[in-house]
Amino acid sequence: MGLLALAVLGFSLLHLIPAHGGLRERLRQRFGRRTFGLTYGLIATAALGLIVLGWRAAPFIPVYDPPAWGAHANLLFMLLAFLLFGQFLAGGSWRQGLRSPMALAVMIWATGHLLANGDAASLILFGGLGLYAAVHAGLARRSEGFSAPLSFGHNGFGLLVGLGLYGLMLHFHQALIGVPVPFFGG
């Protein structure tokens, strides 16, 4: 369980760098955009791999009984999270209006999963990443705005991307995560 907690903490701290625009820019200037981007990507991938290893190694320790409706609610929360993720990927005027659609998506993802799971590893993973996302959103609100050109067409594309990714995750959740989705063959 310690590996999972350290991996979530490391992943969270690493991902706060983009939310702090001044720090990100100083690192880009010091190491160069390309070197910073490559190094950041490799470290983030390694941190994600450590989260997966920590999750799989964590014993199941029940902490609370999730509500009976938690799994149903999680399906709805996940739909909303994927729609926000689609806006993050597509850009456009809704992304700019939301300021941090990815952080909002992670908060909703975490909340939904905490409604459906009541074990210690879930509290560490979903609670930790949900807390990180709340801090990220707060920092992002204080930084400069998103500067991509506004395009309403990107908003519709973002909705389609989000719906498509949601469908893919429902279908492949057990194969990718190792946990079946209730009501979808699980």
The reported pLDDT for the residue numbered 4 is 96
The reported pLDDT for the residue numbered 97 is 73
Q: Where are the alpha helices (DSSP H) in 16-151?
A: 21-31, 33-57, 70-90, 93-98, 101-116, 120-122, 128-142
The reported pLDDT for the residue numbered 181 is 85
Local structure of 133: helix, strand or coil: helix
Could you state, in chain order, the average pLDDT of each consecutive group of 10 residues for the chain (186 residues)? 95 84 82 90 92 92 96 95 90 75 93 96 97 88 57 80 92 83 66
Taking the C-alpha atoms of residue 185 and residue 7, their distance in angstroms, rounded to an integer, is 31
